Amino acid sequence: MDTTRIICVGVGGQGNLLASNLLGQTALRLGIPVVVSEIHGMAQRGGVVESAVLMGDVTSPIVSDGECDILLSFEPVETARLLARCNKDSLVITNVQPLPPFTVSVGQGTYPSVDELLEKFRTKVRKMITLRGNQIAEDVGNPLSLNMVMLGALIGSGATPIGEEAMKETISTMTKKAFLESNLKAFEMGVGEAKKQAD
Per-residue pLDDT of 86-97, as tens digits, reads 999 999 999 999
pLDDT tops 90 at residue 190: yes
Share of the chain above pLDDT 90, in %: 83
Q: Please state the rounded mean pLDDT for residues 45-50.
A: 78
pLDDT tops 60 at residue 165: yes
Which pLDDT score is estimated for 73?
98
**pTM (predicted TM-score):** 0.94
DSSP state letter for 82: T
Closest CA to 32 of 168, 163, 147: 163
Per-residue pLDDT of 111-159, as tens digits, reads 999 999 999 999 999 999 999 999 999 999 999 999 999 999 999 999 9
Burial 69-84 (b: 16+ CB within 10 A, else e): bbbbbbbbbbbbebbe
Which pLDDT score is estimated for 199?
66
| Span between the terminal Cα atoms of the chain, in Å | 28
Burial 152-161 (b: 16+ CB within 10 A, else e): bbbbbbebbe
How far, in Å, CA of 113 to CA of 73, rounded?
A: 17
Q: What share of the chain is helix, strand, coil (3-state, %, to 5)?
A: 45, 20, 30
